[in-house]
Structure 1
Amino acid sequence: MNLRMVLILGALSAFGPLAIDFYLPAFPAMAQAFATDEPHVQTTLAAYFLGLAIGQLAYGPVADRFGRRLPLLFGVGLFTLASLACAYAPNLDTLIAARFVQALGGCAGMVLSRAIVSDRCDAVQSAKVFSQLMLVMGLAPILAPMLGGLLVNSVGWQSIFLVLALFSASCLLAVTLGLPESLPAHIARAPLSGAGGQYLRLLRDRVFIGHALTGGVAIAGMFAYIAGSPYVFIRLYGVPAEHYGWLFGINAAGFILVAQVNARLLTRRGPAVLLGKAVWVYLVSGAVLLAITALRPVQLWPLLVPLFVCISSLGCIAPNASALAMAGKGGRAGSASALMGSLQFSVAAGAAALVGVLADGSAVPMTLVISLCGVLVVTIALCTRRWQALA
């Protein structure tokens, strides 16, 4: 796969994190503009998550029936129009509806970029490409909040959605000119009427579900970190709000670095071997993190080292688990990508919610959920390896 296609797929993969992280700094300004409070503005985020969960499952069968290109063009176009609707929303209810539609369009890039990689690459090559895509996925959470804050302070919150519309319009042009259809012509196109049966067959595929959940539960630990770290860093340990982004960025940089190292190691070792080692790093670092937190250290730095190792290990787990899950899916790659994304997103959202449910005024809820994810990741990975040996 050439560099041009990797860059296009990376941009399409960034729709999700960009549309979430980019506008977070605008919550106070949006609350003021709509004469409401920030918790009500946060419902726009919930609407986006709901759209992601529903939309991913819809695109899979459509992509397996009509190919990758047409659904992708539709989704990116829909995201562009919905972003404009967000920018000019006259009230909060309209913004909530527009965010839902925006998610329905944005998830096309997330689902179909994985399917396109699977169409063109074997498991090892897919893992390499997914590792390269992690560079974009890691940079987006670092840069998006910073740029969003600058735009809000200098131009206004509407500018964030106008920039998103411009970005997606550029992606639409790039897909039109530089991303040909990847679904091979000789593969039978599954009818839409069989979408339910297709998903049931994938759900019965223990190896696929095992690899999908290995990556999904690991990512759930990162969601727990995202949900809990603002309170732990800022409120509990007194890190200035303006410095929080730097700590967040350091962990994201570790994630990016490991993903790029993973891409190089794949030339000598397969994704299954690297995944098998990385899940243990995730488990051990999560357990150490929980143990340190239980001691209630006065300073933050003892938590930062195991947290950095844990988050960084995702740069190896996520691309390899995705590549192994998608391997050999052929004409079912669209449905497989959609189901994997929906499962992973649901588990991750549940982990983030659990941090809030367990909140007790300490860092323990966040680190407990991360360590539990580590235990589950290793357990699922071991079971999946056994199922694969028996297959």
Structure 2
Amino acid sequence: MPQPQSQLRQTATRHTRQQDLRILIILSALMSFASVSTDLYLPAMPTITRELHAAAGSIEFTLSGFLIGFSLGQLIWGPVGDRFGRRLPIALGLVLFIVGSAGCALSATMVQMVFWRVIQALGACAGPVLARAMVRDLYARERSAQMLSTLILFMAVAPLLGPIIGGQIMAIGSWHNIFWVMVGLGFVALYGVWQLPESLSAEQRSQEPFSRVFANYAELLRNGRVMGFALTSSFYYCSFYAFIAGTPFAYIDFYHVSPQIYGLLFGVNVLGIMSTNFFNGRLITRFGSEKLFYIGAVIAAAAGSLLGIDAYFGWGGLAGLAIPFFVFASMNGFIVANAVAGALAAAQHNAGACSSLVGAMQYGSGILSASLVGWLADGTPWPMGAIIALMALLCSLTAIGMRQHGKGQRQGCDISS
């Protein structure tokens, strides 16, 4: 007989006390596939552009193409996970990721590279969206925010090591080897998936026809709390992907650092992300996840604005970009996990669909910023800095507006009572 969801959660809690470390490592590895797919090849972007004889700025479209596939794919995998459970869809996604990674390694033109990056992304997104849904299956809101922070803390190893490893691969071989490494990581993750328990019992799986999926998304889009958390985190991601798309050229071409040093400079930001995710998991019980979410958004806006000013005037040189972005990146620990947990709690049901929508909006926002960095490229860090500053301000304004709206609703309830 299938277990009731409450009993499943109790079983998962007991399991967490005994073997949770293994589960956390596997889930964080699945959630890190977006970082693995982007950060590992960042040091190679200028070299790929030259060797494929592509126009300046065209390499950014490999990032935009990836984000298109990653965003659209999440809208599919979430409902599939709600219908068929979590493990099988993740495994199918990993197979698709492996095929796409091999295609990238064998690409001879930029068009081929963009195509296979889309295929790679369609598979890579299954892991993150369904890993988040698995956390929601097993834990209540505050606990799920703590678990997501812990997951992000573990998964931060990927963006920390990705550019460093990518730079070292470039030092001893060609850029093709970077994508063959991704193929190998896909097989390792595929093995890990079968070590996970299925978190969604048969009785809890959605029996709705897939024609109902878009109606579920429409319902979520009308949910003000879900959209508030989703939009705030999406603007944050928009700034982050402008940095990812712009820094290989700002650091390597404009400020003339080596690919190996670039990997180290990029990795420093991940230390900030890991630190705040560590503290977020411990401060939630004292301050609550929403308060930390708002604080993170305001600090991110201040740091992003300073980076934009430094990029325009050239103040501080390389440090004028690196230091403000370190502060901005660190706010990931207070914004992302708390936003996802808040949105999933507000959705109440269809966790897979909600996780899909939030993830699609987050990574989809990067399509715009990465494309703008390529279109507006002028050989200086200014276009990147301007996009980071603008989106960071919108992140903060959305969070503040959401908070004020919530206060107004509570005051209205007090008056009516």
The whole-number CA distance in structure 2 between the counterparts of 1:94 and 1:304 is 33
Match of 2:328 in 1: 310
Consecutive unaligned residues of structure 2, counting only runs of 5 or more, are 1-15, 411-417
2:43/2:260 contact within 8 Å kept:
no
- 1:260 pairs with one of 274, 278, 282: 278
Distance 1:227 1:80, change over 3 A: closer
Give the distance between the partners of 2:145 and 2:241, measured in 1 at CA: 22
Q: How far, CA to CA, are the matches of 1:332 and 1:60 in structure 2?
A: 9
Q: Which amino acid aligns with 2:69?
A: G
* Corresponding position of 2:366: 348
Q: Which residue does 1:112 correspond to in 2?
A: 130
Residue 105 of structure 1 and its aligned partner are, at CA, apart by 1.2
More off after superposition, 13-22 vs 380-389: 380-389
**Letter of the structure 1 residue corresponding to residue 280 of structure 2:** N
The equivalent residue for 2:139 is 121
Aligned partner (choices 138, 149, 162) of residue 180 of structure 2: 162
**1:195 aligns to 2:213 (yes or no):** yes
Which stretch of structure 1 is more off in the superposition, 312-321 or 236-245? 236-245
Structure-to-structure mapping, 1:137-148, within 5 angstroms: 137-148=155-166
After the TM superposition, which of the residue ranges 151-160 and 50-59 deviates more from structure 2?
Answer: 151-160
> Do the aligned residues in 2 keep the contact of 1:206 with 1:387 (CA within 8 Å)?
no
The more displaced of 88-97 and 117-126 is 88-97
Amino acid aligned to 1:221: S
Aligned length, in residue pairs: 390
Q: Which residue of 2 aligns with 1:205?
A: 223
Equivalent positions of 1:52-131 (< 5 A) are 52-87=70-105, 96-131=114-149
| Deviation of the 1:152 alpha carbon | 4.4
The one-letter code of the counterpart of 1:69 is: R
Q: Give yes or no for contact 1:119–1:183 (8 Å, CA) kept in 2.
A: no
Residue aligning to 1:178: 196
- Could you say what secondary structure the match of 1:83 adopts? helix
DSSP 3-state at the match of 1:327: helix
Whole-angstrom CA distance in 2 between matches of 1:107 and 1:5: 19
Per the TM alignment, residue 324 of structure 1 is displaced from its structure 2 partner at its CA by 0.6
Written as runs of structure 1 = structure 2, the 5 A alignment for 1:228-247 is 228-247=246-265
Distance in 2 (CA, whole Å) between partners of 1:237 and 1:26 is 16
Rounded Cα–Cα distance in structure 2 between residues aligned with 1:50 and 1:164: 19
- Counterpart of 1:369 in structure 2 is 387
- Structure 1: gaps spanning 5 or more residues: none
Post-superposition shift, 1:275?
Answer: 0.8
Amino acid of the structure 1 residue aligned with 2:190: L
| Amino acid aligned to 1:229 | T
- Confirm whether residue 332 of structure 1 aligns to residue 357 of structure 2: no
Flag the 1:66–1:356 CA change in 2: closer, same or farther, 3 A: same
Q: Secondary structure at the match of 2:353?
A: helix
Are 1:270 and 2:288 an aligned pair? yes
For residue 268 of structure 1, give the secondary structure of its aligned residue in structure 2: helix
- Which moved further from structure 2: 299-308 or 86-95? 86-95
Aligned partner of residue 200 in structure 2, secondary structure: coil
**In 1, are the aligned partners of 2:67 and 2:364 still within 8 Å (CA)?**
no
Amino acid at match of 1:226: I
Kept in 2: contact 1:119–1:184 (CA 8 A)? no
Q: Is the 8 A contact 1:27 1:38 kept in 2?
A: no
Structure 1 CA distance for aligned equivalents of residues 378 and 199 of structure 2: 51
Q: TM-score, normalised by structure 2?
A: 0.83
Q: Deviations over 1:196-251 (max 9, x none)?
A: 10111111111101101111111211112223333443444444554222222222
What TM-score results when the alignment is normalised by the length of structure 1?
0.88
Task: Give the direction of change, closer, same or farther, for the CA distance of 1:364–1:80 in structure 2 (3 Å limit).
Answer: closer
The 10-residue stretch of structure 1 (88-97 or 55-64) with the greater mean CA deviation from structure 2: 88-97
Secondary structure of the residue aligned to 2:207 is coil
* Distance in 2 of aligned mates of 1:89 and 1:300: 33
Of 132, 147, 151, 2:169 maps to 151
Q: Does structure 2 retain, via aligned residues, the 8 Å contact 1:79–1:104?
A: yes
Distance 1:379 1:146 in 2: 35
Which residue among 243, 259, 262 is the counterpart of 1:225? 243
Supply the distance in 2 between the matched residues of 1:205 and 1:142 (Cα, whole angstroms). Answer: 35
Q: 1:204 to 1:22 in 2, by over 3 A?
A: same
Deviations along 1:164-219, one digit per CA (max 9) or x if unpaired, are 22222222222113232335724653321201101111111111011011111112
Q: Is the 8 A contact 1:18 1:140 kept in 2?
A: yes
Q: Does 1:17 align with 2:35?
A: yes
The equivalent of 2:308 in structure 1 is 290
What are the Cα deviations for residues 252-301 of structure 1, in whole angstroms up to 9, with x where unaligned?
Answer: 21122111111111232211011121111112222333344454326443
The answer as to whether partners of 2:104 and 2:179 remain within 8 angstroms in 1 is yes
Question: CA shift at 1:311, angstroms?
Answer: 1.8
Instruction: Say what the alpha-carbon RMSD is for the aligned residues.
Output: 2.9
> 1:41-52 alignment to 2 at 5 Å?
44-52=62-70
Give the aligned residue type for 2:222.
Answer: R
State the Cα distance separating 1:103 from its structure 2 match. 1.6
For the 8 Å contact 1:68–1:183, the answer to whether it is kept is no
Partners of 1:102 and 1:92 in 2: CA distance: 15
Report what 2:297 is aligned to: 279
User: Does the 8 A contact of 2:64 with 2:367 survive in 1?
Assistant: no
